[in-house]
Amino acid sequence: MFKNILKISFRNLLKNKAHAFTNVAGLAIGTSAAIVIYFIISYDLSFDTYHADTDRIFRLVQNETTNGELGYESGIPYPLRLKFAEEYPEVEALAYLDQNSGSLITIESDGNKVRYENDDVHLGFTMPSYFKIFKHEFLLGDAESLGTAGNVILSKRMAERFFGNYQDALGKVINYENAVDLTVTGVIANLPGNTDLPHEILIAFETGGSLRIWDSWTATSTSVQAFIKVKPQVDITRFEDKIINY
């Protein structure tokens, strides 16, 4: 019986080729579109999920009311970093990421200065605690070196771009914005493409502090952001209510 149904269906298709082609083409296009949409959504939802304990990682924001409408500002005042983690025992780690910077890097090679300034270079100032929040594999050096001004950690890709072999990078010097020399104290594995934090040049936060860091609680920039990792079992709703008027 099943064979008869197939035969009848096949004959009908031959008799109505145009109609059959339209149906098959529509089914193929619809299926292909659904598959493409699935992969796009899956990729978007995969961003930064490779970090450990993602349910405990948060970005601090400020409430901002404009024309009676509540909004959120990602910029955080510099002074907050000094006491916030101490005043709230729920916080396991706090780190600032200052992206308010240029990208001109100069390397001295064989007596010549080589300049690198590319839009695909993501650079930021941060602190050792950044690596307690976000997962990065260290190929050379360690995170604690960012506790000292003038130090810098590079991705493997950046180290190879600057020095050829990333294993030769430790102790080498790069110049930032014709203003300060930075010593390479660490190399991390290349970052995956599905991250909103694609920084491959991470400079010690206190570097150039007198020129970059201000003491005002009212002056903020969206490029200066703060991230926290709360301790296990912290009720995040109650914690939010607790810090809302900080």
Instruction: Tell me the two tokens of residue 168.
Output: 């030769």
Mean pLDDT of the chain: 87
pLDDT at residue 3, rounded to an integer: 65
CA distance 42 to 36: 10
- pLDDT tens for each residue of 17-42: 666 667 677 777 888 888 888 888 88
End-to-end CA distance of the chain: 76
CA distance 166 to 170: 8
CA distance 238 to 174: 45
CA distance 144 to 10: 71
Structural contact between residues 208 and 152, judged by C-beta atoms closer than 8 angstroms? no
Cβ within 8 Å of residue 78, ≥6 positions away: 96, 213, 214, 215, 216, 224
Residue type, 150: G
Structural contact between residues 71 and 84, judged by C-beta atoms closer than 8 angstroms? no
pLDDT band at residue 12, thresholds of 50, 70 and 90? Answer: low
pLDDT at residue 120, rounded to an integer: 67
**Total Cβ atoms within 10 A of residue 56:** 18
Answer whether residue 2 shows pLDDT above 70.
Answer: no
CA distance 224 to 100: 7
- pLDDT tens for each residue of 174-207: 999 888 999 999 999 999 989 999 999 999 999 9
Answer whether residue 215 shows pLDDT above 90.
Answer: no
pLDDT at residue 29, rounded to an integer: 86
pLDDT at residue 156, rounded to an integer: 97
CA distances to 50, 122, 239 from 62, rounded to whole Å, are 27, 24, 15
Instruction: Tell me the two tokens of residue 52.
Output: 């450990």
Mean pLDDT of 131-141: 96
Supply the DSSP symbol for 231.
P
Q: Quote the pTM value.
A: 0.85
